[in-house]
Amino acid sequence: MNIFLRELKANFKSLLVWGGIIILLIVIAMAKYSAYADNPQLLAVLDSMPPALLDAFNLKAFNLTTLSGFFGVMFTYFALMGGIAAAMWGSDIISKEERDKTVEFALTLPVTRNQVITSKALAALVNSIAFVLITWVASLAAASYYHPNIAFYNFLALEMQAMFVIELIFLAIGLLLGCAMKQYKRAGSTAVSIILATYFLSIISGMNKKLDLLKYFTPFKYFDAGKLFRTGHMDLTYLLLSAIIIVVAMAGAYLTYNRRDLYI
Amino acid sequence: MNVIEVDHLTKYYGKARGIIDVSFQVEAGEIFGFIGPNGAGKSTTIRLLLSLIYPTSGSAKIFGRDCIKYGPALRQEIGYLPSEVFYYEHMKVIDLLKYSASFYKKDCTQRLHELAEIMELNLNRRIEDLSYGNKKKVGIVQGLLHSPRLLFLDEPTAGLDPLIQRKFFNLIREENQRGVTVFFSSHILGEVQRLCNRVGIIKEGRIIEISDIRTLQQNNYKKVRIAANGIDVADFNIEGVSKLESNHDGVRFFFKGDINTIVRKISQIDLVDVSIEEPTLEEIFMHYYE
C-alpha cells in the first residue's frame, strides 16, 4: 500500500503533463473542426486526395464534417497518446529504481519483488485510467459546443473503452520491458519504439490487402475507429487477443523480475 | 548460534568474477569485519546476502533460514547501510524515513527521532539538497530505525567527518551491546581494528583468511626493529623473516615463527636498541596483498 501511494504521488506530475498535452491536442483539433463542420467543400477536397493517403490517416471511413466522423479520426491520436503514456509509465516505474540507484534501498526493505511489481503496476494503472478520463471529459467539454446527439456520446464512450484497452496492452508491455531489460536505461525508449513500430505497421497493413495479416501484430488495428463506428462494439476476437497479450506480458514481468539480478 | 552462514558462495557477472567459493560464519552478537580493497567482492557478498542478486552457486543462511527464499521476511530484522546511499531525490528526509519505517511491523517513530538527534540530521530538508555526508547520515538512521537484529555496513564511514564518525562508532557499539550482530565491510583497517572481534579478509573474490583480530595480530607476526653497530643484514635472512630492510644504523623486518629463534639471534649482537612489537592490522593486511 505504501509503495502504491508513493508511486501515485511520484507520478502525479507526469499525469498532469500528459493530461495537459491531450487537452491541448483536443483544443487545437476542435479549432480545426470549426472549419470543417458542415462544410461540403472540404469533402470535395478530400475526394481529390490519393486513396492510400486517406487510408493512412483513416480519413476514408469518416465524414470529417460531422462530429462523430471527426472524433473517429481523432481516435488514432488518442490511441497513440494513451499507448505511449502507458508504456512510459509502465517501463519507467520499474526501471527508474535501477536508473536512480534507489534499488538498493527499495528492494532491501522487507518486501517481495512481487509486491513491488503489483503496487507499481496498480499505480501506473490508476494513471492510465485517469488519462482516459481526462481525455473523455475534455472531449465532452469540447464537443458540447456543437450539441452532439446521443449517437456521438455512445461512440465516444466506445472509443474511450478502446483507448483504455490499448493503454492496458502497452502498460503491460512497458512493465515487462522495465522488469526484464538488462539495459534498464533503454526500457523507456524501447517501449516507445515498439509503439511507433506497431503504429506504422497498422498504417502499412491498411494500405495493402496483401499485408492484411499484419493487423494481428499491431494493437492499433485491433480497434479500428471505422469499425467501432459501424458495429457499435469492440471485436471480441481482438479483445481476447488483447487479454492474452496483457496476461502473457504481466506473467513475463513477474517471472523475469523475480529471477534476475538487480543492477546497482 | 550463527547469524550468518555462507556456504561455498560463488557469483559471476557473466564472465566477470564477483566472488568465488566464499564460506564463513558470523556468530550472534559479534562484530565481524570484512576487509578487502575495492573490487575484491565485499559489496557483492552483501548484495547476495540481501538477495539483490542471486548466486551462481552455493547458498547462504541468515538466522538459520535461506537468504533468498525467506529474504523478505528476514529483512524485517536486517538493517543495511550501502557504501553509497541513493534515495528518492524529491522527498523530504522525514517523509523518506517514515516511508521506510512503514514497512516494518513495529512503531519506529521514537527511535527515528532519537537517531536523527544523535546524527544531527535535519529532517525537513529535501534529499536532493543534501551533501554526500548528510545523505550518509540519512542512510544510518534509515538502516537503524527499525532496531534490526543484524546490521550490514558497507564502508560506512566514507563521507562522514571525524566527529560524526565517532558518534557513529559509539552507536554501533551500543547496538552491539544490545545484542545486534554487525557485519562490517571496510577497506580502512584502523576502524575495523577498533570495532571488530573477528575479521575475514577477501582478495580477488576469495576469502584468504578468517581469524580473530587478536590472533591475527599476536600469533602470526612480530614487527622487529634492531639498531646496532656493524650489523650484517644477511644474518637475518632466515626462515620466517619477511620484508627485511636495512638502513645506516640497523635493520627491521617482520617475523613469523618461534620467537625464541629470533631472540637468540638478536642476543648475539651488540645492540644499541631493539623493539619487538605487534604489527598493526594495516601491516598484516599489506602482507596478504603482496
Nearest CA of chain B to the CA of A100: how many Å? Answer: 7
Facing B47 at nearest CB: one of A111, A260, A264: A264
Which whole number is the average pLDDT over B164-173? 92
> DSSP string covering B144-200, please?
HTT--SEEEEESTTTT--HHHHHHHHHHHHHHHHTT-EEEEEES-HHHHHHH-SEEE
Q: Over pLDDT 70: what percentage of chain A?
A: 97
Q: Residue A100 gets which letter from DSSP?
A: T
Residue B194 pLDDT class (50, 70, 90 cuts): confident
Q: Please report the pLDDT score of residue A79 as a whole number.
A: 92
Query: What pLDDT, in 10s, does the model give residues A196-216?
Result: 898 888 888 777 777 777 778
- CA–centroid distance for A193 within its chain: 14
First and final C-alpha spacing in chain A: 25
> Which residue out of A96, A104, A118 would a mutagenesis test of the B interface target, given it has the greatest number of B Cβ atoms within 10 Å?
A104
> Quick one: pLDDT band at residue B135, thresholds 50, 70, 90?
very high
Contact across the interface for A100 and B142, Cβ inside 8 Å? no
Instruction: Please check the confidence at residue A245 and state whether its pLDDT lies above 90.
Output: yes
What is the mean predicted confidence (pLDDT) over A157-172?
95
Tell me the C-alpha distance between A76 and A159, whole Å.
10
| Mean pLDDT of the A147-167 span | 92
Contact criterion met (CB < 8 Å) for A10 and B84:
no
Report the C-alpha gap between A242 and B178 in whole angstroms. 56
Return the residue in B12, B56, B98, B99 with the most chain A beta carbons within 10 A, the one to mutate for interface testing.
B99
Between A230 and B60, whose confidence is greater?
B60
CB contact under 8 A, A110 and B90: no
- pLDDT above 70 for A19: yes
What integer pLDDT is reported at residue B290 of this predicted model?
58
* pLDDT-wise least confident of A44-48, A245-249, A257-261, B257-261: A44-48
| C-alpha cell belonging to residue B151 | 546490521
Q: Which residues of chain B neighbour A110 with C-beta distances below 8 Å?
A: 72-76, 103-104
More confident position, B47 or B222: B47
Set of chain A residues whose Cβ sits within 8 Å of the Cβ of B52: 103-104, 107-108, 261-262, 264
Average of per-residue pLDDT across A24-51: 80
Percent of chain A with pLDDT over 90: 54
- The answer to whether A30 and A74 have CB atoms below 8 angstroms apart is no
A105:B85 CB<8 A = yes
Q: What is the pLDDT of residue B189?
A: 76
B71 pLDDT exceeds 70?
Answer: yes
Region A227-235: what's the mean pLDDT? Answer: 84
Burial of B132-166, coded b for 16+ CB within 10 Å and e otherwise, reads: eebbbbbbbbbbbbbebbbbbbbbbbebbeeebee
Q: Beta strands B271-277 and B222-228: pairing type?
A: antiparallel
Shortest distance between the Cα of B101 and any Cα of chain A, in A, equals 9
More confident call, A148 vs A18: A18
- Give one word for B16, left, alpha or beta, with left for phi > 0 and alpha for psi -120 to 50: beta
The answer to whether residue A264 scores a pLDDT higher than 70 is yes
Angle, CA of B3, B7 and B13, to the nearest 5°: 115
User: Closest by alpha carbon to A38, among A71, A67, A72, A73?
Assistant: A67
Closest by Cα among B170, B101, B104, B161 to B131? B161
Higher pLDDT, B123 or B236: B123
Instruction: Tell me which residue in B80, B89, B104 faces A108 most closely, judged by beta carbons.
Output: B80
ipTM of the complex: 0.86
The pLDDT value recorded for residue A21 is 95
User: Is residue A1 predicted with pLDDT exceeding 80?
Assistant: no
Q: Residues near B258 by Cβ (< 8 Å), separated by ≥ 6? A: B240
For residue A199, what are the CA distances in angstroms to A84, A164, A202, A203?
A: 11, 16, 5, 7
CA distances from A225 to A152, A209, A222, B32 (A): 13, 18, 9, 66
Question: What pLDDT does residue A119 have?
Answer: 96
Residue A104: its chain B contacts at CB < 8 A?
47, 52, 80, 82, 86
**Partner residues linked to B224 by β-bridges:** B253, B276
**Cβ of A100 under 8 Å from any chain B Cβ?**
yes
